[in-house]
Amino acid sequence: MVNGKSGAATPNKGQAWFCTTGLPSDVVVEVDDMTFHLHKFPLMSKSKKLHDLIKEQEANKVQPLEQRQDTQNDDVESEDDEDLVEQEQCHVSLTEFPGGSETFEAAAKFCYGVKIDLTAAKVAPLRCAGEVLEMTEEYSEDNLISKTERYLTNNVLKNIKDSVKALKSCEFISSLSENLGIVDRCIDAISSKASLYDPTLFGWPVNDVVVTSSGGSRKKNMTSSKMRDAWVEDLAQLSSNLFNRVISSMKEKEVNPEVIESCLIHYAKRCFPGISRSNRKPTPSSSMMASEAEQRQLLETIVSNFPTEKSSRSQAATRFLFGLLRTANILNASEACKSAVEKKIGAQLEQATLDDLLIPSYSYLTETLYDVDCIERILGHFLADFDGREIEGDGDQTLGNARSPAIMLVGKLIDGYLSEIASDSNLKPEKFIQLALSLPEEKARLYDDGVYRAVDVYLKAHPWLSEEDREKISGVMDCQKLTLEACTHAAQNERLPLRAVVQVLFFEQLQLRHAIAGTLITADIAASESTRPSVQDEDEGERDGGDGGTGAGREQSTWKEAIRENQVLRLDMDSMRTRVHELERECSSMKRVVQKIDKVGSASPSWRSTITRKFGCKFKTQVCDSHESTVVENRKGRHHTNQR
């Protein structure tokens, strides 16, 4: 059996490849920088192209061997013998051979009858090599073209990961692989297999899952998520042209939008490592983008291919979109590209975090540290999308029941964002007020502690504001929706204007009045229910005529005890009513004080001590943090105690 061996481990520049069969080579084939020393018969038996080239060279020999020997001198006979050997060899040069010298080496081994191992990465170049060398079935049975076609059809195109690898190998033989239809077949196989995947189900189709049997049990070698990531990562290694064609084919076959989105995310992360804040190091593959213009064009292409449907991928996809938006700002992408990303983010803003919203200002025209205008646009897209969903899905509900978790999450997110940007000295009051009032108050916030915290930070960072501006800033919070901790802090906050402090005190007293009134109503109901059965039992006792002896005495003792408890409860209720009347008088006095303050126009330096001394309000200094869960829990606990 003929055995082909290489004179070098790898085909480096200037190296030669020899076939050790014991016979001198009579054909020299040059492919790129590699020289192959082969034999005529094996090559001519499989390749019609090499057969024609060798026959043509043999027919064009000018001088017969006998004529050359007559004209030579005896003293140079040995040198002439070497020249004769060189003249007998045929020299063939194959330029731009598909797959280079490595592929020709595999084809040469095939001609010698050596078994070659076909893989997904090698089959496409070998198929093109067989086409160039004309290794058809008509010329020789079981030739290279038929062998590679069978492997491509029966093995590669039935597996999505192998199809991606084969498509990747076509980048270096693009023209020939296009003419042979290999590229289109690989793209069609990838999109067809991807269309069978449903992220809501368990995993990939059965034929894509590698299964092994051991001891009668079957187990998967890898999970479906790992297999999905494997081919998606391979897909991200494609050139932009082939990748765009794959995405277009996926859209035509209506592949699940989450699959398309996952492919785009992996591709963008490879091309723009700065998108992910956790990975800022450039990868070797990311250096393929030579200029900023090419990067901008690629970014706009990726954004244009993003599906319009809302993603169900938790926070990962949303974080990536914010990174994509920052990259678009750095590369100065088109306004249409930025708007598309902002709209995509707005559709899933409830999945974002506060760190995502802190987008730096990249424009010299913007004075603020963070891009507040961008967040306003994103919030506008969210509200428009929320209103649309509310009309379609909740049209039969009343406005009072329209508070959804999504808008509550966004409300908390915007409150935190306001607290972060409030310390920026260049943030205008109008911009702060506009962003704070952009959310529907009755739907987005259960309490206004977050807004109060942002107002407090803003007033602290802007001490030069006029009284009018301070009142406008304080007007964004609803004093009726502050918890007890926030009210306590606000009552002693010297940065708040007088009107805001008086409103806080007034509504705190009003809340206390409502709480006491609710307690009284509950006590009245409990008293009426406890006395009603006693009267009924007394009437029944009179109808029975006093029968029952000891049982009647026990019932009479129970009646007396119930009457005694009712009397004590009535005394407590009378005391509560008295306290309510006192609170009403205090509220009336506070109203008159507010009216006097409005008439005078300014307050004396000791106005806080005057109000405290007049109404007997004593507070402890506490720090209000609207993001602590204890605020809501204390509120609920207090309400539950009052009901009891």
Per-residue pLDDT tens over the stretch 43-71:
999 999 999 998 888 777 644 544 555 55
Question: What's the chain's average pLDDT?
Answer: 76
pLDDT at 1 (0 to 100): 37
Which one has a higher pLDDT value, 441 or 327? 327
Q: Under a CB-based contact definition with an 8 Å cutoff, are residues 360 and 369 in contact?
A: yes
Q: Write out the DSSP string of 162-199.
A: HHHHHHHHGGGGHHHHHHTTHHHHHHHHHHHHHHT--T
The amino acid occupying position 482 is L
510 band by pLDDT with thresholds 50, 70 and 90: confident
- Collect all residues with Cβ–Cβ distance below 8 Å to 498 and sequence separation of at least 6: 597, 603, 607
Residues in the chain: 644
Instruction: Give the rounded percent of residues in the chain with a pLDDT score beyond 70.
Output: 64
pLDDT at 479 (0 to 100): 84
- CA pair distance 593, 252, nearest whole angstrom: 72
Average pLDDT over residues 210-228: 42
629 band by pLDDT with thresholds 50, 70 and 90: very low
Radius of gyration of the chain (CA): 43
The amino acid occupying position 148 is T
What's the predicted TM-score (pTM) here?
Answer: 0.69
Instruction: Please calculate the CA angle 525-528-531 and round it to the nearest 5 degrees.
Output: 150
- Helix, coil or strand: residue 571: helix
486 band by pLDDT with thresholds 50, 70 and 90: confident
- CA pair distance 257, 312, nearest whole angstrom: 10
21 band by pLDDT with thresholds 50, 70 and 90: low
10 band by pLDDT with thresholds 50, 70 and 90: very low
Average pLDDT over residues 243-263: 91
Q: Which domains does the chain have, with CATH numbers?
A: 14-59+89-155 (3.30.710.10)
Residue 390 has pLDDT above 60, yes or no: yes
363-367, 427-431, 443-447: which has the minimum mean pLDDT?
363-367
pLDDT at 458 (0 to 100): 94
Q: Under a CB-based contact definition with an 8 Å cutoff, are residues 488 and 619 in contact?
A: yes
618 band by pLDDT with thresholds 50, 70 and 90: very low
Residue 605 has pLDDT above 90, yes or no: no
Residue 433 has pLDDT above 80, yes or no: yes
How far is the CA of 397 from the CAs of 127, 221, 350, 385, in angstroms?
A: 64, 50, 22, 18
Q: Look up residue 156 and give its DSSP letter.
A: I
Q: Under a CB-based contact definition with an 8 Å cutoff, are residues 590 and 615 in contact?
A: yes
Which one has a higher pLDDT value, 298 or 599? 298
Instruction: Give the rounded percent of residues in the chain with a pLDDT score beyond 90.
Output: 35
The dihedral region occupied by 307, where left means phi > 0, alpha psi between -120 and 50, and beta the remainder, is beta
Residue 378 has pLDDT above 60, yes or no: yes
Q: Tokens standing for 394?
A: 């909740």
Neighbours of 610 (CB within 10 A): 13
Which one has a higher pLDDT value, 413 or 15? 413
Q: Tokens standing for 434?
A: 């506009």
The amino acid occupying position 142 is D
pLDDT at 223 (0 to 100): 42
- CA pair distance 54, 48, nearest whole angstrom: 10
415 band by pLDDT with thresholds 50, 70 and 90: very high
- CA pair distance 208, 234, nearest whole angstrom: 15
516 band by pLDDT with thresholds 50, 70 and 90: low
549 band by pLDDT with thresholds 50, 70 and 90: very low
Neighbours of 178 (CB within 10 A): 12
pLDDT at 252 (0 to 100): 93
Neighbours of 428 (CB within 10 A): 14
The amino acid occupying position 495 is R
Q: Which of 453, 461, 458 is nearest to 483 (CA)?
A: 453
Where does residue 373 rank: exposed (0-12), middle (13-18), buried (19+ CB within 10 A)? middle
pLDDT at 17 (0 to 100): 67
Residue 398 has pLDDT above 60, yes or no: no
Residue 90 pairs in a beta bridge with: 27
Residue 261 has pLDDT above 60, yes or no: yes
23 band by pLDDT with thresholds 50, 70 and 90: confident
472 band by pLDDT with thresholds 50, 70 and 90: very high
125 band by pLDDT with thresholds 50, 70 and 90: very high
219 band by pLDDT with thresholds 50, 70 and 90: very low
Phi (first) and psi of residue 137, to 5 degrees: -70, -30
20-29, 393-402, 435-444, 625-634: which has the minimum mean pLDDT?
625-634
pLDDT at 379 (0 to 100): 95
- Helix, coil or strand: residue 27: strand
pLDDT at 151 (0 to 100): 96
- CA pair distance 418, 450, nearest whole angstrom: 9
Q: Report the first-to-last Cα separation within the chain, whole angstroms.
A: 99
Average pLDDT over residues 340-353: 92
196-205, 206-215, 507-516: which has the minimum mean pLDDT?
206-215
65-69, 171-175, 433-437, 577-581: which has the minimum mean pLDDT?
65-69
pLDDT at 277 (0 to 100): 62
